[in-house]
A and B are shown apart, each in its own frame.
Chain A
């Protein structure tokens, strides 16, 4: 059974710091991995989608990597800003329309 774990559960950093959020999964037979952002009381906004054949994706200050063999993905946020404060979730599509979500990392960027 696929399990998705995100560490740390919460993170507080000063503005301007570069940071890495981690996502691990137990079964390497995935179709894709997607990173989302969720603001309090809001829906999930897609940040980056990595197909199983890809190693990384970039969008602005965000870079996500995927290493299927080790069952890991990282989300790198450069030059963090207070507006980056949110919960970040990773999700793994294992096929058969079954996407497993991690519990998320709550990020707080201090001004």
Chain B
């Protein structure tokens, strides 16, 4: 099925470890986003990529880096994980020709111990 695919679905890290969350979309969308969702805080934008070759900070970028590998793929990296980064991470994509409506992936549930 067409959509946004995220891997892994679940991950447990120790404090200080690093990891990369992968995201790929097959809808030919230009824009891609990384959000985190926390109880009581709602969805907050970490980074976004307006188009291939560009990335920009969102509301909560500290502790994260991103790479727009090509038009399809947008990865999120935690260089040194902290317990405060325990969250559910969602990748999304959108396209101006489709009214900028968002399509979300199923999420990655990350726990940092």
Number of A-B contacts (CB under 8 A): 45
Task: Closest B residue to A93 by CB, please name it.
Answer: B100
Tell me the dominant secondary structure on chain B's binding face: strand
CA distance A44 to B33 in the complex (A): 14
Instruction: Knowing A43-B90, A44-B104, say if A98 contacts B45 (CB, 8 Å).
Output: yes
Q: Is the CB of B106 within 8 A of A34?
A: no
Which residue from B31, B33, B99, B106 sits with its C-beta under 8 Å from A32? B99
Chain A interface main SS type: strand
The number of residues on chain A lying at the interface, defined by a beta carbon within 8 Å of a beta carbon of chain B, is: 22
Contact assessment for A46 and B101 in the assembled complex, using a CB-CB cutoff below 8 Å: yes
Q: Whole-angstrom distance between the alpha carbons of A45 and B104 in the complex?
A: 7
A102 (CB) vs chain B CBs: closest residue: B42
Among B31, B50, B56, B101, contact of A49 (Cβ-Cβ < 8 Å): B101
**Residues on A facing B (Cβ under 8 Å):** 31-32, 34, 36, 41-46, 49, 51, 89, 91, 93, 97-99, 101-104
3 smallest A-B Cβ distances: which pairs?
A49-B101, A43-B106, A44-B104
